[in-house]
Amino acid sequence: MTPIGTSLPTSMTTTMDSPIGELTITSEEGKLTGIQMHEQRHPKKIPADARRDDDGLGHVVAQLEAYFAGELTEFEMALDMRGTEFQRRVWASLCEIPYGETISYGELARWVGNPKASRAVGLANGRNPVAIVVPCHRVIGADGSLTGYGGGLERKVWLLEHEAKHRTSAGAQVTLDLQAQPA
């Protein structure tokens, strides 16, 4: 029983095993805020009030499991991705990259309306808090090289090969409900 005047934590967390290693999933107020890989660059700090809730995040785990099984190409979940306006534009544009396809950082910079900002796009891409669901792994170098990935290049290779293997002619898109909140 919660004492009067005490609020329940609104942050939840869980972990799941995946073909690319253990993933830590976080949410706040029912919206996904993070998917992190073990030993990832730029890890998001898990809120101190977060409570483990495997059932509350079961829908996220189920969709990720279906993705890894090659049965899901489009995620459906509410997201709360906090960042700068530019970061949120980049993250929204990432969701326009069809499943199983790649684009260059320069092309992504054109998509966000700043063709000379490929380095800034790369930095925003690297700060994506919701890996896999917001497919930052689909961005590659202009020469087709697999440049950096916050989760490690071996994971990027795995994700791209996985999507190529399970790609359908119809392709897929991920839709986002980005919140206009400061970083």
Compute the distance between CA of residue 157 and CA of residue 163 in angstroms, rounded to an integer: 10
Bridge partners of residue 79, in order along the sequence = 32
Enumerate the domain spans of the chain: 11-68, 85-166
Write the CATH number of the domain with boundaries 85-166. 1.10.10.10
Whole-model pTM: value is 0.83
Bridge partners of residue 76, in order along the sequence = none
Give the tens place of pLDDT for each residue, 21-77. 999 999 998 899 999 887 766 667 787 888 888 888 999 999 999 999 999 999 999
Give the tens place of pLDDT for each residue, 156-180. 999 999 999 988 643 444 444 444 3
Range of lowest pLDDT (98-107, 116-125, 128-137, 170-179): 170-179
Q: What is the pLDDT of residue 38?
A: 79
Tell the CATH topology of 11-68.
Answer: Double Stranded RNA Binding Domain (3.30.160)
Compute the distance between CA of residue 160 and CA of residue 99 in angstroms, rounded to an integer: 9
Active site residue 136: yes
Q: What is the pLDDT of residue 43?
A: 67
Cα torsion at 60, 169, 108, 35 (round to 10°)?
10
Q: What is the pLDDT of residue 42?
A: 65
Compute the distance between CA of residue 151 and CA of residue 141 in angstroms, rounded to an integer: 17
Q: How many CB atoms lie within 10 A of CB 128?
A: 24
Phi, psi of 59 (to 5 degrees): -65, -35
Q: What separation, in Å, do the N-terminal and C-terminal C-alpha atoms of the chain show?
A: 34
The one catalytic residue among 77, 136, 139, 176: 136
